[in-house]
Amino acid sequence: MKLITLKPLYLGGKTVVEGRSFETHEQHGRELIAKGYAALDESDAEPVVTLAEEPVVSSMSLTGEQLMLTPPGAAVGDEDLAPGKAATAKKKKAT
């Protein structure tokens, strides 16, 4: 989608000043138009920046061990207590 900037935009590692032509994918272009940052460009001007399709983010699954807040063995002797309660129990024990 070919657009023209209405406000300075940082696109593809470059700052594109007002009135310059650039190309982006359809969804990004529609978002910029809706926010008032760009308008459709029907001129023959060569785009200053051409953005590739939006990169696909791969999903990564984490194991239960990676999600643990307290590393295994950190609260030795307090395994039956929930995380955070071990410190409270130690304070009570010390007094």
Asked whether 50 and 23 are in contact (CB, 8 A), the reply is yes
Q: Could you read off the pLDDT of 80-89 as tens digits, one per residue?
A: 555 555 555 5
Please give the model's pTM, rounded to 2 decimal places.
Answer: 0.52
Distance CA 3, CA 29 (A): 7
Q: Is the pLDDT of residue 73 over 80?
A: no
- DSSP state string for 15-34: EEPTT-EEE--HHHHHHHHH
Q: Could you read off the pLDDT of 24-71 as tens digits, one per residue?
A: 999 999 999 999 999 999 888 888 888 875 544 445 566 666 666 666
Q: What is the pLDDT of residue 80?
A: 56
Q: What is the pLDDT of residue 46?
A: 85
Distance of CA 11 to the CA centre of its chain: 16
Compute the average pLDDT of residues 11-25: 90
